[in-house]
Structure 1
């Protein structure tokens, strides 16, 4: 079931032109990744994104008209770990002028937004929608 959702997300990402770069795991544990909850796109379109205890929405970005992006977006790093990355960690970041062409690592979380399960590398261009 999870693989189907992840496969659907990856296909959707390729179709919509999301460019995601590689990452490495820093704190992944098998226990953490088995707790990952991924809502289906059908569930999101019908009922909206689920919300965690911190009030953050989470799930794959549906790119649907009128649908806001989730606070925690589903992502997969180079090592194949699936988790959530904070939208604000990507788009609300302003690099120092000397480091504007340097990528950076951001944390990957479970849907709770606090349990770190790995890291995700964001290139200097971030994640872009073409």
Structure 2
């Protein structure tokens, strides 16, 4: 049985690395071709929950199954929330540049290291940053 072989491999890893595997924080994903019976027995044997379609890992989706624009819209929303909060404050041009370089550029950086983000999303973010930089407040 596949699940028992997986447990054997995980136990070998655990002993070799001296790291415990937290099954409560773990999940298992299956291809769409996997039979439901195999999914149930594997997840049950491993005592691991089955992965949700929209599960996040380190703030990013573990699977890209739907529109990337919709999926990564949270990045755009995070940038917009930051910029909206800063629009309330009276900031110099240099202060705005520092905030953009230190905070705004960091928001999509991790996602860009893992996924190729849609160019429309990147253009929207660039537009928000440009409007913030030149002082067009309240416009997205």
State the TM bucket, normalised to the shorter chain. under 0.3
Where is the helix percentage greater, Structure 1 or Structure 2? Answer: 2
Q: TM-score, normalised by structure 2?
A: 0.25
Please report the TM-score for the alignment, with normalisation by the length of structure 1. 0.26
Greater radius of gyration (CA): 2
Higher RCO, Cα 8 Å, sep 6+: 1
